[in-house]
Amino acid sequence: MTGFDRAIRVENAQLWYGKGETGTHALRGVSLVAQPGEVLMVRGPSGSGKTTLLQLMGALKVPDKGRVTICGETTEGASSAELRRLRLKRIGFVFQFFNLFPTLTAWENVAIPLDIRGVDRRTAERQARDLLAEVGLADRAHHKPGQLSGGQRQRVAVARALMNEPDVILADEPTAALDGVTGALVVEAFRRLAREQDRVVVLVSHDQRVENLVDRSITIEDGLVVSEAGPVHAASSGLSRSLR
Ligand SMILES: Nc1ncnc2c1ncn2[C@@H]1O[C@H](COP(=O)(O)OP(=O)(O)O)[C@@H](O)[C@H]1O
Ligand SMILES: [Mg+2]
């Protein structure tokens, strides 16, 4: 598709929580571009503005100043219905605590967005199983979350985020609840989705172990970009190579 910009562009974004002396200037002018085909990590200490930035990139919030453009559409001036439509059409979200239903199997958890749309059970199961296969869980479709490891649960959540075929996957601290090896497997799943399907993947994390597994990283502190590194992956792919 030529001429269609599938990147996320953040231009000089600023955002405040509250006003005056008690308010917080959470983002003080952040600019970055996340391109299809790469995993971009946004790192930084707790309270630096990572989650707020991810919310701007996912059309959950609109900056008070500056601009965010998602796959060619700017969020500036959009109504909440327009933002919602943009999210549904373009974005899959993954969170720290998987948010899976314990009584449902892996494929049923993945199929929840289809349930909501009223898709019949056989079609839903087939689509959910295809997505589970994409994240390496073809053989776990009928397991419940309690029968899966943390890393497998998070990959179920990743498969669910893929259900609407999003161009963009945004993950907030997706490895924080995982040990190093399972965290690396989750990041590997993100890298495959970026590379093989040319998606935009942005991963917010303060997990240093993740850093060597991504294509590029940007560090923010106190609401500002303070450094940018990468592509780091080619130079230091020992761990991820051993996991392939
Ligand atoms: N809903 C909110 N109301 C007020 N302040 C907030 C809110 N959310 C975040 N903040 C503040 O904004 C700053 C950035 O927060 P956040 O984006 O959550 O950072 P991070 O994800 O890097 O920990 C912090 O100082 C935080 O306390
Ligand atoms: Mg956060």
Q: Using 50, 70 and 90 to split pLDDT, how confident is the model at 3?
A: low
Average of per-residue pLDDT values in the chain: 89
> Residue 212: CB within 6 Å of ligand 1?
no
The predicted pLDDT at position 23 comes to 92
Q: Using 50, 70 and 90 to split pLDDT, how confident is the model at 14?
A: very high
> Residue 219: CB within 6 Å of ligand 1?
no
> Residue 24: CB within 6 Å of ligand 1?
yes
Closest CA to 220 of 94, 59, 52: 52
Residue 123, domain CATH? 3.40.50.300
> Residue 105: CB within 6 Å of ligand 1?
no
The predicted pLDDT at position 231 comes to 63
| Ligand 1 atom 14, closest CA | 49
> Count of domains in the chain?
1
Instruction: Give the distance between the most distant pair of CA atoms in the chain.
Output: 56
| Ligand 1 atom 2, closest CA | 17
For residue 54, pLDDT beyond 90: yes
Spatial strand order in the sheet of 200-204: 91-94, 168-172, 200-204, 39-43, 216-221, 224-229
In a domain, 87, yes or no: yes
Determine how many CB atoms are found less than 10 A away from the CB of residue 182: 18
Ligand 1 atom at minimal distance to the Cα of residue 173: 21
Measure 187 CA to ligand 2 centroid, in angstroms. Answer: 18
In a domain, 3, yes or no: no
Range in 67-81, 155-169, 223-237 with the lowest mean pLDDT: 223-237
The backbone region for 122, taken as left when phi is positive above 0, alpha when psi lies in -120 to 50, beta otherwise, is: alpha
Q: Using 50, 70 and 90 to split pLDDT, how confident is the model at 157?
A: very high
Report, as an integer, the average pLDDT of 232-239. Answer: 45
In a domain, 65, yes or no: yes
Q: Using 50, 70 and 90 to split pLDDT, how confident is the model at 240?
A: very low
Enclosing domain of residue 112: 8-243
> Residue 90: CB within 6 Å of ligand 1?
no
For 60-70, what is each residue's pLDDT tens digit?
999 999 999 99
| Ligand 1 atom 20, closest CA | 47
Ligand 1 atom at minimal distance to the Cα of residue 206: 22
The predicted pLDDT at position 96 comes to 80
In a domain, 66, yes or no: yes
> Residue 175: CB within 6 Å of ligand 1?
no
The predicted pLDDT at position 1 comes to 47
Give CA–CA dist 195/173, Å, rounded: 21
Give CA–CA dist 78/191, Å, rounded: 31
Report, as an integer, the average pLDDT of 12-38. Answer: 95
Q: What percentage of residues in the chain have a pLDDT greater than 90? A: 66
In a domain, 2, yes or no: no
For residue 242, pLDDT beyond 70: no
For residue 19, pLDDT beyond 50: yes
In a domain, 156, yes or no: yes
